Amino acid sequence: MSARPDVPVRTEGTAEAVERGPLPEKVRLRVNGTEHVIEIEPRVSLLQALRDDLHLSGAKRGCDQGACGACTVMVDGRRVLACLTLAIACEGQEITTVEGLAEPDGRAGWRLHPMQEEFIAHDAFQCGYCTPGQLVSAVACVQEGHASSDAEIKEWMSGNICRCAAYLNIRAAIRAARERV
């Protein structure tokens, strides 16, 4: 039976609609102080939206299943795993990625965040793949008041895995930065 051209075709609930999945929606994301509107499907993760739609590749895709912490960003000052967070659920909240830690220095350059400076000073990375997540997590760890001792830093940074095992230097950098953050 051929469809009548004057009758709109309804596809919701049909096999075609199920196969196609949900339609993209306009989503407003505020990232590092800048508002963006993107069209994404409701199932898109915050990590995918940041990396693929906004081209902010700082947050890394390590495991994509909540096990490594490489994708850590802050949402309204709270650390979240961007791979396990729906982008659409972050509308109206302030998202901070590693790209948002440094600040303009007023002379067309950038002033690194104290945590970034201490990571460099303490050689707190090797390959650097985990570093964006470590940095965001470290800043949040200090802001949360969870960096008063080495044991506490170890506990509250335990969600960020470093395959190069730079843990000693990461903790030294956090200790050095905690008075400056």
Which chain residues interact with ligand FES by CB under 6 A?
Answer: 61-64, 66-71, 81, 83, 125-131, 162-164, 166
CB nearer ligand FES, residue 18 or residue 121: 121
Rounded CA gap, 149 and 15, in Å? 57
Rounded CA gap, 34 and 48, in Å? 18
Min. distance of Cβ 6 from ligand FES in angstroms? Answer: 50
Min. distance of Cβ 112 from ligand FES in angstroms? Answer: 18
CB nearer ligand FES, residue 128 or residue 145: 128
Q: Where is 47: in which H helix or E strand?
A: helix 46-48
Min. distance of Cβ 91 from ligand FES in angstroms? Answer: 20
Min. distance of Cβ 137 from ligand FES in angstroms? Answer: 11
CB nearer ligand FES, residue 29 or residue 50: 50
Non-local (6+) Cβ contacts of 83 within 8 A are: 45, 46, 47, 61, 63, 64, 65, 66, 71
CB nearer ligand FES, residue 57 or residue 126: 126
Rounded CA gap, 130 and 132, in Å? 6
CB nearer ligand FES, residue 20 or residue 78: 78
- Of the candidates 87, 137, 145, the one whose C-alpha atom is nearest the C-alpha of residue 115 is 137
Min. distance of Cβ 167 from ligand FES in angstroms? Answer: 9
- Residue length of the chain: 181
Rounded CA gap, 98 and 58, in Å? 6
Q: Given the structure tokens 């709109």, which residue do they identify?
A: 8
